[in-house]
Structure 1
């Protein structure tokens, strides 16, 4: 059996399934005609079309617009002939061997395939075309408009992102000039997206910056607990006898390394600093000009807020801060939020250190 025997009356093209599992003489005759905008007709098999699109099922069986004898005719106008052929080939390939659309076809007929898959309700083809459409500086505005007409939010997001990244170039294109003159609503949407993205980007950078501070503060508090309460086993402790520190597990290495060494150096400075030796109140230490002492005061201050010990704490000023917490604005929302975040990160820091060094 030859292809020509399928076409009576003569057709411009006869579509055949790509699967070769059935012999040629077992393939049924095409029973539907697809007519393109230039009047050319394509002979197709209804079962391959209706299995992929309920809209085509309705157009073929429920309400055919034209008939060629007893054969219904489906009109697909507004797109080139080759694009219609590619669309039908995709439907055939999906029915015989699973969804398949070539990237070369999307590059050449992507816009037409997106329009056809949207109008005729072929979700898998619409998804494939939306993901693989190539966006350039010249066509990105057109693709944005098309994505809204075809209800393709993924393509809308891709288009808006490309416009934001290359906005100085996009505003010089004809597409942008067109929407600025004829579609102010779309122009406003693009400008709002750019503004929201910039705000979100600033918030993200600020959150990352704050997270670095929270992590550093939580590690410093944990290291302070390690020095003053557990007792460091490697580095010399600052005035250990006065703080009643009895080091535990002397054979184990210090897990904090340089952090512990630097913090011990600052502790020694805090104890020996002449500027605070004669200070009798917490507020006097706060107002002191020595930046190193002020930093240590902040560290002791944060430790006291996280310290849950009921007895006397070996960390300097911890007991004093607990007593005077009401005067130092311990109950403000900002302070509670800071302590909550630092405390949460401190828990993960402690778990990470224990896991890294195999400490139970």
Structure 2
């Protein structure tokens, strides 16, 4: 063994299992129950908060309920609270009072518990919290899950974290509110106003993105109307952002559309190149292939058009083949843009051009016929042709309009108002008969034959 190999140091040891577990846990989504603080420490600080051991501060919440706390913890956790504590000292200099009149008791307790333990659930169990509230003589609705608690308290906790400058709690609230399902049509505008007021840039971006994505539906909600009255500048800003995003999407679509048209143009140029000059592996029969010039063609889509053309020439089911249909459309498109179809080398160019001219004349006649039919239909107004023929018979009849005749006439109307004219068994069209005015012979002479009608 050489001296160089002896001087090589040994490799470092592999990571331990605990390190691998830490890496696996760091990739998971953090939740309210995940914490780096030991459970015993959390329980100890819970006892300090619940039993008010050495408490020198009183926090008054909504409904004149009070919580005991320690000024040392509050001052260390928040500089804003430290300033408030200095201003709220009583005359003896011992007790501090912080008023939170608009904050519910549950929110204030979760806020304090986060300052003490860095954990934002109410307590380790619902029974302990109910017992604690019962000792304070407060009526409380049951709630046990941290997800349910955060759903109710995330908004006010976000405000408290911003007011009292507690970044760790703000990050927890932003992460919770940014989860899928919390931002919806009903809450996105309220959450956007909250994020703008609390300087939560990431949450504001998510809310604005959702508003732009579903602008038409969100603009019809009641929250939009309330925002329009309370903050019209925000409404104008959202509309401006939506219009700018729409214009940007339209420009992108136009660029993509232009790119597609340019690719189609290059495919047409490659088709003309194959039939006029020929390429390395394909070309017209009367011209030799371009051998010895390399395999790279200057036309980008030459190989693709060649492959599609070979398939088109050998396919036996062109009518149902999608690839053959695209090739046929390429031939038709070339016939539309070709300037000199008489001397064009591409097959079917002249015949397709002639068929196109014939089709134009036919489409013009068909369009003219449709316009005349629509004009004739509109000239009748609200009455149809069959109903007009029925009214003509009723009011032109020479029969006496007695009471029985009146009911008889309009009785026929109710029976056959949707069956004019009627094809009878003797292959002729039957119209109404008015008494003795017409005889059977005259009726036979006046009745047109169905075969004559078809000839006409």
Q: Which moved more, 1:115-124 or 1:101-110?
A: 101-110
The equivalent of 2:151 in structure 1 is 107
State the Cα RMSD in Å: 4.9
The equivalent of 1:91 in structure 2 is 115
Structure number with larger C-alpha Rg: 2
Match of 1:64 among 63, 66, 87: 87
Shift of 1:244: 4.9
Q: Is the 8 A contact 1:164 1:194 kept in 2?
A: yes
CA 31–288 in structure 1, closer or farther in 2 if over 3 Å, else same:
farther
The equivalent of 2:354 in structure 1 is none
The equivalent of 2:100 in structure 1 is 76
The equivalent of 2:247 in structure 1 is 199
Shift of 1:81: 1.3
1:123 aligns with 2:167: yes
Distance 1:43 1:122 in 2: 20
Distance 1:286 1:158 in 2: 51
Shift of 1:35: 2.6
Q: Is the 8 A contact 2:283 2:289 kept in 1?
A: no
Shift of 1:108: 0.7
Shift of 1:220: 10
Distance 2:42 2:150 in 1: 29
1:142 aligns with 2:166: no
Q: Is the 8 A contact 1:86 1:105 kept in 2?
A: no
Distance 2:292 2:158 in 1: 74
Q: Is the 8 A contact 1:66 1:74 kept in 2?
A: no
The equivalent of 1:14 in structure 2 is none
Q: What are the superposed Cα offsets for residues 288-321 of structure 1, whole Å, 9 maximum, x if unpaired?
A: 358x979xxxxxxxxxxxxxxxxxxxxxxxxxxx
Shift of 1:242: 5.0
The equivalent of 1:40 in structure 2 is 65
Distance 2:108 2:237 in 1: 33
CA 37–265 in structure 1, closer or farther in 2 if over 3 Å, else same:
closer
The equivalent of 2:292 in structure 1 is 246
The equivalent of 1:173 in structure 2 is 221
Q: Is the 8 A contact 1:103 1:132 kept in 2?
A: no
Q: Larger relative contact order (C-alpha < 8 A, sep ≥ 6)?
A: 1
Distance 2:43 2:166 in 1: 29
Distance 1:38 1:18 in 2: 34
CA 146–24 in structure 1, closer or farther in 2 if over 3 Å, else same:
closer
CA 288–132 in structure 1, closer or farther in 2 if over 3 Å, else same:
farther
- Unmatched runs of 5 consecutive residues or more in structure 1: 1-16, 226-230, 250-255, 267-284, 295-360
Q: What are the superposed Cα offsets for residues 212-252 of structure 1, whole Å, 9 maximum, x if unpaired?
A: 56778899999x99xxxxx85xx446679856522769xxx
Distance 1:87 1:215 in 2: 62
The equivalent of 2:307 in structure 1 is 261
Structure 2 counterpart SS, 1:79: coil
Q: Is the 8 A contact 1:59 1:65 kept in 2?
A: yes
Shift of 1:55: 1.9
Distance 2:265 2:171 in 1: 47
Q: Is the 8 A contact 1:115 1:150 kept in 2?
A: yes
Q: Is the 8 A contact 2:42 2:117 kept in 1?
A: no
Q: What are the superposed Cα offsets for residues 132-177 of structure 1, whole Å, 9 maximum, x if unpaired?
A: 3323433333333333322333333333333344444434433322
CA 246–102 in structure 1, closer or farther in 2 if over 3 Å, else same:
farther
Shift of 1:112: 0.4
1:55 aligns with 2:96: no
Q: Is the 8 A contact 1:66 1:73 kept in 2?
A: yes
Q: TM-score, normalised by structure 2?
A: 0.42
1:156 aligns with 2:204: yes
Match runs of 1:340-359 below 5 Å: none
Match runs of 1:277-292 below 5 Å: 287-289=339-341
Distance 1:145 1:197 in 2: 21
Q: Is the 8 A contact 2:282 2:289 kept in 1?
A: no
The equivalent of 1:281 in structure 2 is none
Number of aligned positions between the proteins: 247
